A = this chain, B = another copy of it.
């Protein structure tokens, strides 16, 4: 309603401004700024000088619309505070760095409906590819991904059917392997401590594989405890205390992630409990944090860096043999026994 006090005299700059300032056509300016096509050195210099002097920043929106090319890769993850995704991101960035592609992160907070809208939002920018965590998505999400017309890589997990490509580990198998190692070390009264999150499918699969392997040995979980929210380290302490009080005869604690496992380890050490003699412990992920603990927690690394790398390579079309899509890459996590499982 009120007239603007400050007139907007500084219109946003366009190619035309640079073109006028340097006395060549817009097309030539465009060519210079993108390093595409032949331009004489003198012209190039003049254009660059003008662009720099004016402080011109190209408008990628217009560029993308005209060229039908967008140098963005959507990366959709459940959470940033997880300690696991930063490393995946590092792998992705490493590979994309010299491809001209740029990752753009979206966070879903483990909510399928949130994921749906993030996918929609991302696709509406017509990215060159999509990387997203997990194989479980709403029907609408699946439909969008299938229609997207760009490479889609589902990461972290391979127990299921991907829309297009997948890079990850089998969490089911990871759970089995850990159970086998624990049983082999002579533990028998085993408890599980983990997240409550109904949508953390990977944790759920690990537990399923774990119980499956126990069953095969004629064993069942002796106890189980769940949490949600709050400081994972603290929750680990609290849950550990609760389980050990409730089931004093438990001799092994299997945690769904390293953070709560670390909390449990600190609790046991503080209580003077003999680890791994009286109680054994194991987590999952292989997070860097563990290196600083008084004792090395048994864990299983989830190949996060490699997962990021490979996913990015698929998007960037860098896979050997020029494989184009529909690739499923299973990585093998390695068990790191640390100091919290008895040696056999």
Contacts and interface: CB of A to CB of B under 8 A. Distances in A.
Contact of A107 (B65, B93, B121): B93
A59 B233 contact: no
A120 interface: yes
A70 interface: yes
A236 to B, nearest CB: 7
Given A61-B70, A81-B86, A89-B80, A289 B231 contact: yes
Q: How many copies does the complex hold?
A: 2
A55 B294 contact: no
Given A61-B126, A236-B292, A102 B81 contact: no
A58 B234 contact: no
A123 B57 contact: yes
A310 interface: no
Interface stretch (A141-149, A156-164, A169-177): A141-149
B291 A266 contact: no
A344 interface: no
A270 interface: yes
Contact of A12 (B65, B104, B149): B149
A61 B65 contact: yes
B232 A58 contact: no
A99 to B, nearest CB: 14
A171 to B, nearest CB: 23
A234 B61 contact: no
Interface string A120-142: 11011110000000000000000
Nearest to A102: B121
A10 B146 CA distance: 12
Tier of interface size on chain A: 35 or more
B126 A289 contact: no
Contact of A55 (B64, B143, B236, B237): B143
A60 interface: yes
Interface in A23-77: 55, 57-62, 64-65, 70
Given A61-B65, A126-B59, A149-B10, A266 B237 contact: no
A209 interface: no
Nearest to A81: B86
A1 interface: no
Interface of A: 10, 12, 55, 57-62, 64-65, 70, 80-81, 83, 85-87, 89-90, 93, 102, 104-105, 107, 120-121, 123-126, 143-144, 147, 149, 230-237, 262-263, 266, 270, 288-289, 291-294
Given A57-B123, A61-B70, A233-B293, 5 more contacts: A57-B124, A60-B124, A81-B83, A234-B292, A263-B292
10 contacts: A57-B123, A57-B144, A60-B125, A80-B85, A89-B107, A105-B105, A230-B291, A231-B289, A234-B292, A236-B292
Q: Closest 9 CB pairs between A and B?
A: A233-B292, A234-B292, A81-B86, A231-B291, A80-B86, A60-B124, A234-B291, A231-B288, A55-B147
